[in-house]
Structure 1
Amino acid sequence: MPTIVVDVMPKAELLDPQGKAVTGSLARLGHGAFQNVRIGKRIELSVDGEVTDEVLAEAQKIADEILSNQVIEDVVNIEVVS
C-alpha cells in the first residue's frame, strides 16, 4: 500500500519556540555544532490503490487546507514512499 508523506514546517520568518528550546539543550549538553533547530511535523497518508496525479493533487489540497496552518506553517514536501 503506497503512502504519501507530507512534511510541514514553521514559516522561516516565525519564531520556533520548540526548536529554540532544543537548540539551547543541545548546546548545554555539549553538542555545540548545531546552531539552529527547527521542528516540524510529518504526516503519512496511506493510499488504497495507485497514486495518480489526481491523488497527489488531492493530497496537496489536503496538506494546504487541513494538515497545515497556512498562517504559520509551510508545506515543504510531498512525496510517495512504498
Structure 2
Amino acid sequence: MLRRKPTRLELKLDDIEEFDGARKELESRRKREEVDMVGASDAECALGLSTDHKSREQMIHDRIGYKPQPKPNNRSSQFGNFEF
C-alpha cells in the first residue's frame, strides 16, 4: 500500500449554499412524511384496537412480508413419504 500526503480540501461559498438547500429540502420531506405517517398511524391504531388478535397478527405478517404456509394434517406429512 502506498502512502501519500493528505489532500487539502477547501470549502467554498457555493458548496455551503448547496448544502443548506439540500438540508432544507430533506427537512421539508421529513415533515411531509411525518404528517402522512401521523394520519396513517391514527387509522391503524383505530383498526388495531377494534380488531381481534388474528387480524393484528395478519397485519404484522403483511407488513413484514411473512407468508406462513399451512401445515397438512395427515400422517404422510408427519412421517415423510415412506411407504410400508
Query: Which structure has the greater CA radius of gyration?
Result: 2
Q: Which has the higher helix share?
A: 2
Q: Which has the higher strand share?
A: 1
Is the structural similarity TM-score above 0.5? no
Q: Taking structure 1 as the reference length, what is the TM-score of the superposition?
A: 0.24
Structure showing greater relative contact order (alpha-carbon pairs closer than 8 Å, 6 or more residues apart): 1
